[in-house]
Structure 1
Amino acid sequence: METEPPGLVRIRRVARLLDDSVRLPLTRFRIGLDPLLGVLPVAGDAVAALLSLYIVAEAARLGISGRTLARMLLNVGLDFAVGSVPVIGSLFDALWTANERNAALAAADLAQSDQTPF
């Protein structure tokens, strides 16, 4: 059994914290810090975007391809832009889960690069 690189483990942890760490009472729906921070006008979304950029930076350190990094940055940018809209932005943040998407992109890119012959 092969273990994940420590960088990917960190990416998954941060993504879970930002997108999926809190279960809403009386539901099975989960949200993370990203939509909660989005309640604070401008500053909350900026902090969430900086935390999201940590995931991209960690992916770059792992050697993720430039194309995948660009897709990850697009996800963060979209999350920040739409998330900045009052009320609708927090709902979008809760549903879009850009960080979970980016963690999946990073994992897929690493898995693909492990299968390519040298």
Structure 2
Amino acid sequence: MGFELPMGSDPVSIRKRIEALEHLLERSFHLPGTKYPIGLDSIIGLVPVVGDFISAGLGAYIVWEARNLGLPKWKLWRMGGHIAFDTAIGAVPLVGDAFDVVYKSNTKNLRIIKKHLDKHHPETRIIEG
């Protein structure tokens, strides 16, 4: 019995997919010897150039899902800006790798999506307990 992502196009399913991907990309591991969360974004970002583009593609998927939720274009552009900034700085050797650990563009974008959903689709709120 494993974890399955909902495949529906309804707001609840989309929210669950975005939250799962954000968790995987930004907080699925901890830096060894610390409790500081990192994710695949930081790890695959260590691979020069290719890793940054893979991370950008995964971040772009979150923006695509946000588009499917009907977020206004200005919010989509803002989200795209987070990804572009993350990708540009992340491409700088060493400095970019450290930056990837701190700057969590996918978490910023998830916050934008949650705020939109909480206002326009309050039924998607998940009470964690």
Please report the TM-score for the alignment, with normalisation by the length of structure 1.
0.89
Q: Which has the higher helix share?
A: 1
Is residue 17 of structure 1 aligned with residue 24 of structure 2? Answer: yes
1:22-73 deviations in whole A, cap 9, x for unaligned? Answer: 1122211010111111111100101010011000001111111112111100
Aligned partner of 1:89 in structure 2 is 96
Aligned partner of 2:48 in structure 1 is 41
Aligned partner of 1:101 in structure 2 is 108
Is residue 59 of structure 1 aligned with residue 66 of structure 2? Answer: yes
Please tell me whether the aligned partners of residues 68 and 109 of structure 1 are also in contact (alpha carbons under 8 angstroms).
no
Aligned partner of 2:126 in structure 1 is none
Structure of higher RCO (CA pairs closer than 8 Å, 6+ residues apart): 1
Q: What percent of counterpart residues are identical?
A: 36
Please tell me whether the aligned partners of residues 65 and 109 of structure 1 are also in contact (alpha carbons under 8 angstroms).
no
d(CA) in 1 for partners of 2:121, 2:59: 25
Letter in 2 for 1:39: L
Counterpart secondary structure, 1:91: helix
In structure 1, the gaps of 5 or more residues are none
Deviation at residue 111 of structure 1 after TM alignment: 1.9
In structure 2, the gaps of 5 or more residues are 1-10, 123-129
Q: 2:57 aligns with which of 43, 50, 68?
A: 50
Counterpart secondary structure, 1:26: coil
Letter in 2 for 1:41: P
